A and B are shown apart, each in its own frame.
Chain A
């Protein structure tokens, strides 16, 4: 039982990293009804950007976020403009799966061409060091990840609930047609929202790449987990994604103590049970939205 507190600590810190990666996915769905299957490979792309800046230009990965966050925002806005904006009609959400999957395959292929198949990891002085507090090992990189998650979620909250743009976003989330009628530029809102959703993956990608060896193939495992997180939390719910991410990793860490081979199964069993009872997820809103 003495391992339990450390497992819970690991779970919370690791869960914060996954929350950071899932925030953009659920934001994009919440505003646009688009399930961005490319979110996993975009996290990996962000990790490679941080890695390349670190290895080739010797820019610290944390400092490099000043470059990678705007770069990933631009990538997101470009994907929205080039592909997602063109999806229309009742099957828009389902079609977004296929389109974003195609985008993911293209990005994965490009990463294979540029970086090869071998795994790499981001190195920095704070990646392997940590602090020992009250008997707990707290690696700096996970503390940084948790800090970035808090900042990202606070920023998204403030953006949505304390700005004019946020009002436009929420209006678009509730009813796109009505939003258009009151003069909101829905296309601009969508592009910026998609950009923000992808931009936050820059931070998640940096932390993921510093805590895991990764390759262009890593996106598949990531997207399956990120999707399960946003489905458990409730598609479109930012807070739900955070709660579900913390639950997922903590549950796996705790089951790890006794039966590691069952850890993932236990999490997915909980997911299934929750969806049977509440198909929209823990924090999802059951009301339908206008397209």
Chain B
């Protein structure tokens, strides 16, 4: 028995060493071409290049690099060549904090830009704030990010809490006889998803839609099927799923199909916006009618967006529908930083923070950007998109440029 205890202790110590190794991060600098007489301006970000958010993190990396390439071709920032420095946080908030400390205190970057997800943006913003850095970011729209009222956070994307409002307004516009009668609200335990689901549930309940299911769950592979089976058993008319990534939506989709359950409306807060990555996971026959709220899509008529999408496809291939929305979020961060630097004629974080708080309206591939006192983008417009026959279409709010909502959603496998 003693021998065994010794062996287990030995294994435990080694496992601890392994854990430390797991937390180690890699870094990469990305010179982006162009010749400039002035010293380069280094812009740093912690990105989830591995770990749970690696697909999003790598899409963010592409968006940042695309912006830097374009901006360097246009002369950089005030004539300084842009050099991007990325540190891998492995999707860990703790590592993201350490990365921003290194970027600021060791690498002495000129600017910091945001990581992926509200989960990492919140603590990262605290670090940037401590050292007087602005943190312009594209994927930290949860209320928890803004609740701390830091003056240095600027989210160029859509604030997430009310993202489902176009869908709710559309349901309210339907005759009572055509509205869904019941709804299920499963949500992952993430600051990005829970506010959206609670908002949707409260508003839909007021419209007379009965909430037949609400549960918070961790996005663990062993649990998703069980939760999805519970939802399927309720046979609700609509499902509003709080998801952060593709695997959760894939798990629910598969379980629904296996259980022979096809809700009239199926909206997921994230996952279906990841273009080709989403289609590969759920299959080309199992996406029709699935919705997702967001502020951007590959087919956006915004001229800046069209240019970015064309460049993206030229560099990476694919189609407009297949471009991940994360790319646009990252690209928008760079655009807002560019406009702030040009307007202030300065590389000073203090001046940029003051400028971005001046209620000025800026432009981005995602549309207009104007910040309130806590850094939320007041000018962002919420859209709801829907997959229809493998095309990712803007369907809500209804109006010019919007496709008709597929309601009820088509059966699975069609």
B5 interfacial by beta-carbon distance below 8 Å:
yes
**Residues of A with C-beta under 8 A to B413:** 128
Partner of A93, one of B10, B22, B223, B250: B10
**Residues of B with C-beta under 8 A to A257:** 226, 230
**Cβ contact within 8 Å between B54 and A249:** no
Nearest-Cβ distance from residue A138 to partner chain B, whole angstroms:
9
**Residues of A with C-beta under 8 A to B277:** 118-119
Distance A280 CA – B227 CA, assembled complex (angstroms):
33
**Residues of B with C-beta under 8 A to A129:** 257-258
**Cβ contact within 8 Å between A118 and B251:** no
A270 interfacial by beta-carbon distance below 8 Å:
no
B131 interfacial by beta-carbon distance below 8 Å:
no
Distance A94 CA – B274 CA, assembled complex (angstroms):
41
**Residues of B with C-beta under 8 A to A98:** 14, 17-18
0/1 per residue, A161-176, Cβ < 8 Å to B?
0000000000000000
Nearest-Cβ distance from residue B217 to partner chain A, whole angstroms:
4
**Residues of A with C-beta under 8 A to B189:** 261
**Cβ contact within 8 Å between B229 and A6:** yes
0/1 per residue, B240-253, Cβ < 8 Å to A?
00000111001100
Distance A14 CA – B255 CA, assembled complex (angstroms):
13
Partner-contacting stretch, out of A66-74, A186-194, A195-203, A208-216? A208-216
Known A-B contacts A3-B230, A252-B226, A286-B4; A121 and B18 likewise in contact (beta carbons under 8 Å): no
**Cβ contact within 8 Å between B223 and A252:** yes
Known A-B contacts A97-B15, A101-B21, A119-B280; A211 and B54 likewise in contact (beta carbons under 8 Å): no
**Cβ contact within 8 Å between A253 and B226:** yes
**Residues of A with C-beta under 8 A to B57:** 117
**Cβ contact within 8 Å between A10 and B21:** no
Known A-B contacts A252-B223, A288-B3; A213 and B18 likewise in contact (beta carbons under 8 Å): no
A23 interfacial by beta-carbon distance below 8 Å:
no
**Cβ contact within 8 Å between A213 and B250:** yes
Known A-B contacts A94-B11, A98-B14; A117 and B55 likewise in contact (beta carbons under 8 Å): yes
Distance A58 CA – B221 CA, assembled complex (angstroms):
27
**Residues of A with C-beta under 8 A to B220:** 221, 252, 263-264
Nearest-Cβ distance from residue B95 to partner chain A, whole angstroms:
14
Known A-B contacts A261-B216, A264-B223; A128 and B250 likewise in contact (beta carbons under 8 Å): no
Nearest-Cβ distance from residue A91 to partner chain B, whole angstroms:
7
How big is chain B's contact interface, by range? 35 or more
B347 interfacial by beta-carbon distance below 8 Å:
no
**Residues of A with C-beta under 8 A to B54:** 117, 215-217
Known A-B contacts A121-B281, A123-B283; A93 and B18 likewise in contact (beta carbons under 8 Å): no
**Residues of A with C-beta under 8 A to B13:** 94
User: Which residues 193-223 of B have a CB within 8 angstroms of A?
Assistant: 215-218, 220-223
B80 interfacial by beta-carbon distance below 8 Å:
no
**Residues of A with C-beta under 8 A to B7:** 93
**Residues of B with C-beta under 8 A to A108:** 50
**Residues of A with C-beta under 8 A to B259:** 137
**Cβ contact within 8 Å between B222 and A225:** yes
**Residues of A with C-beta under 8 A to B246:** 118-119, 213
A7 interfacial by beta-carbon distance below 8 Å:
yes
**Cβ contact within 8 Å between A120 and B281:** yes
Chain B: which residue is nearest A128 at the CB level?
Answer: B257
Distance A263 CA – B220 CA, assembled complex (angstroms):
10
A28 interfacial by beta-carbon distance below 8 Å:
no
Chain A: which residue is nearest B413 at the CB level?
Answer: A128
Known A-B contacts A118-B276, A119-B246; A256 and B281 likewise in contact (beta carbons under 8 Å): no
0/1 per residue, B37-60, Cβ < 8 Å to A?
000000000000111101101100
B233 interfacial by beta-carbon distance below 8 Å:
yes
B110 interfacial by beta-carbon distance below 8 Å:
no
**Residues of B with C-beta under 8 A to A137:** 229, 258-260
**Residues of B with C-beta under 8 A to A117:** 49, 54-55, 57-58
**Cβ contact within 8 Å between A14 and B222:** yes
B390 interfacial by beta-carbon distance below 8 Å:
no
**Cβ contact within 8 Å between B11 and A97:** yes
A248 interfacial by beta-carbon distance below 8 Å:
yes
B170 interfacial by beta-carbon distance below 8 Å:
no
- Which of B17, B18, B223, B233 is most buried by chain A, counting CB atoms within 10 A of its CB? B223
Distance A18 CA – B250 CA, assembled complex (angstroms):
19
**Residues of A with C-beta under 8 A to B257:** 128-129
B412 interfacial by beta-carbon distance below 8 Å:
yes
A35 interfacial by beta-carbon distance below 8 Å:
yes
**Residues of A with C-beta under 8 A to B227:** 256, 260
**Cβ contact within 8 Å between B229 and A260:** no
- Which of A97, A129, A252, A256 is most buried by chain B, counting CB atoms within 10 A of its CB? A256
Known A-B contacts A93-B7, A260-B217, A261-B218; A10 and B55 likewise in contact (beta carbons under 8 Å): no
Nearest-Cβ distance from residue A273 to partner chain B, whole angstroms:
16
**Cβ contact within 8 Å between B250 and A119:** yes
**Cβ contact within 8 Å between B221 and A221:** yes
**Cβ contact within 8 Å between A249 and B217:** no
Chain A: which residue is nearest B11 at the CB level?
Answer: A94
**Residues of B with C-beta under 8 A to A260:** 215-218, 223, 226-227
Partner of A3, one of B50, B233, B258, B260: B233
**Residues of B with C-beta under 8 A to A7:** 226, 229
Distance A91 CA – B14 CA, assembled complex (angstroms):
10
The 10 A-B pairs at the shortest CB distance, nearest first, are namely A260-B217, A118-B277, A213-B247, A213-B250, A288-B3, A213-B281, A139-B258, A128-B257, A94-B14, A256-B226
B: which residues have CB within 8 A of A? Answer: 1, 3-5, 7-8, 10-11, 13-15, 17-18, 21-22, 49-52, 54-55, 57-58, 189, 215-218, 220-223, 225-227, 229-230, 233, 245-247, 250-251, 254, 257-260, 274, 276-277, 280-283, 286, 412-413
**Given A123-B283, A213-B247, 8 additional A-B pairs, CB 8 A:** A116-B58, A120-B281, A121-B254, A121-B280, A121-B283, A127-B254, A221-B220, A257-B226
A–B Cβ pairs within 8 angstroms, 12 of them: A6-B233, A18-B222, A97-B11, A118-B274, A120-B281, A121-B282, A128-B254, A129-B257, A137-B259, A212-B221, A279-B5, A288-B3
